Amino acid sequence: MAQLAIVDAYQTFMATAQPLINIDTDEQYEAALETLEQVLESASDTLDDPLNPLIDMLSQAIARYESRDEELVAYVAEAGTVPADIALLRTLMKQHHLTGSDLPEIGDKTMVSKVLNGKRTLSRQAIEKLCERFGLSPAMFFG
């Protein structure tokens, strides 16, 4: 009798979870990401949390979808070729809505452009100033 209850519960679960487990569209992908975020916030950071199997299931479904998305695969490949300091600098600029003129720690906008294009490297002094400004560890600039 308990076996039938488990099968029934599983079928009910899969009827609800199917779009999050077998992701075929960007909308389902976004929904799976949002659901995973909510589950992660609800779960405790212990190995025996009952939500861990659901976290694993959603994570694997998201990873499968991402591995089939050509744009995302290309983005990840390209991102892997960008040096850590440039990637971090671009992220900071995007998050804080900054332009090259907004980073006096590096120099003028021409110098910032040279750094972003890989023609110049960040000086130790610039890294220290950026870390102080944004509350970062210098190690983040070295990947």
For the chain, what percent of residues have pLDDT higher than 90?
Answer: 82
Tell me, yes or no, whether 73 and 86 share the same domain: no
Alpha-carbon Rg for the chain, nearest whole angstrom, is: 22
Computed from CA positions of residues 60, 65, 70, 75, in that sequence, does the dihedral angle turn out positive or negative? negative
- Choose one of 77, 96, 127: the last residue of a domain: 77
Of 45, 77, 109, the residue at which a domain comes to its end is 77
Distance from C-alpha of 120 to C-alpha of 76, rounded to nearest angstrom: 24
Total of domains in the chain: 2
Average pLDDT over residues 12-31: 94
Q: Is the dihedral of CA 107, 111, 116, 122 positive or negative?
A: negative
Residues 93 and 68 in one domain: no
pLDDT of residue 122: 93
Are 89 and 114 within one domain? Answer: yes
Maximum average pLDDT range among 33-42, 83-92, 134-143: 33-42
141 phi and psi, to 5 degrees? Answer: -80, -5
Containing domain of residue 7, as a range?
2-77
Looking at residues 91-102, what average pLDDT do you find? 94
Q: What is the CATH number of the domain that holds 97?
A: 1.10.260.40
Looking at residue 73, what is its pLDDT?
Answer: 87
39-43, 58-62, 130-134, 139-143: segment of lowest average pLDDT: 139-143
Average pLDDT over residues 39-47: 93
Please list the alpha-helical segments (H only) found in the chain: 2-21, 26-42, 52-68, 70-79, 84-95, 109-116, 124-134
Single pTM value for the model: 0.58
